Structure 1
Amino acid sequence: MFSVIVVPADCRGPDGQFRLEPGQSLRFGRQGPGLAIAHPGVSRSAGQITATATFWTLTNLSRHQTYVVENPEGAGEHIKIAPGRVDAPVPFEFSRLVIPAGDELLGFDVWAPRHDYLDDHEADTGEPTALSFPLDRSKRYFLVLAALCEPRLRGEPHAPLPTVEQVIDRLRPIWPAISRTSVQWNIDYLAVKLRLKPPPEVALSGGRLNGKKESLVSLALRFDLVREDELDIIDKGPQP
């Protein structure tokens, strides 16, 4: 199974993504093969991404440019990859690789959805077991999942799912910059992380987003990925 997904800046869907299995690499630069970045300020062969089981490494093939890998959810957290650095490990689940190109900054996203988390109840009592559905409750994707599940967890098992606009209104007090795009992005990411595939009839009927929402909520409630006693995260925000 793939462990790293590279999302080009102009990507409009899964067909435009690069999905890497552990051990596979992807070159990027002004020329192919790999991810082509059509800008005269980018080296012909600028770098290489290599997937491992739960993270990825970056090789900076530039002789002069330092690259920056940002954590979009890390309040400015980033790492620098010096020119010529080989296989620098990147620990972020979400990353944005930023490349200086003349007077511009170009970039693309890299996802590592197989970030695993141990069961807290087993961590100190012997050999730990990795969770089947590894979710980080400090991430915004968990806020979105909790907001989607909230009506049914509040005692309305057949309640319609919240619309994207309703999710935005519910989360805006703790996430002021929330937008329709960010909610849709997190729904798409949750579908990848939880290994969901919408049935063919959903994709063909144009109900792609609604189908994902229903599948996510069904899975989350069936396996207690979000519990009623966790819904206060929607009001208080993730705790450090």
Structure 2
Amino acid sequence: MSVHPLLIDEADEVVTVQQDYESDTPMDTHHLAPGQTRTFGRGGRNRDVDMRLAAGDRAVHRHAGDIISHGDHWRISNLSPNKSYIVENTERLAGFVQVPPNTHGMLVPFETSRVRIPGAEGEHSFLVMAPAACSAILVPGPGGDLQDTDDWEDSTGERTEANSFRMDRWHTYYRVLVAYCEPRLRGLTPPVPTQRQVAERLNIGPAAVNAHVDYLLKDKFKVELEGGGHGQGWRAQALIEKALYFGVVTERDLVILDQENDTPKGLG
């Protein structure tokens, strides 16, 4: 999609989408006047997108979503059938919203945002700057038909969305993940349990908990374990944030912790 020239008087109604300085995903800068849209995703094969995030990452939808400018604010559509995206408020570390699958036209109430798209080898992200913070209530847009399912499986049988945060919910590592998320989901204090508390909750050894945490961070969420923070607390915090941000663990998964006769398995 070509970028139309913008008048100087319209500069206060331009939404800018650009490369994230914290991401390796290359991207041109896009200036959107009111009413303009930019598509994003993996692209390729008859699926042309304006912002190609991950040409070789098959866990990213070919047409993953849209950014729509409304002048003083913008909206996002998540066209994935089975994964959530995250929009972070870069001006406040704790501010973010989750964009569920099959969401059309969700209003983003942040002036400066980072959009995170989960992939097979980590995340792809880009920045969106609106001219003014929007105070409207965050609600999904009008319900319409779901996106074309041609993007889900193409004529060669290539399956997208395949390997992004894939979890085996019968393995002990997933029970460890749920146990770490349990206090946050139940609104308990403190929200981050200790390694020993998780070990006692699951009736396994602290060393096993440590091994499962390393496996989840490195192999599932692609988080660098070296130099990621100070002390042990950052590992648990990173694990919880990744799981809850992208909806890998939700309240309905807490039943896993109460299941009886559950035989723990090794890393998988």
Query: Could you tell me the TM-score, scaled by structure 1's length?
Result: 0.44
Query: Could you tell me the TM-score, scaled by structure 2's length?
Result: 0.40
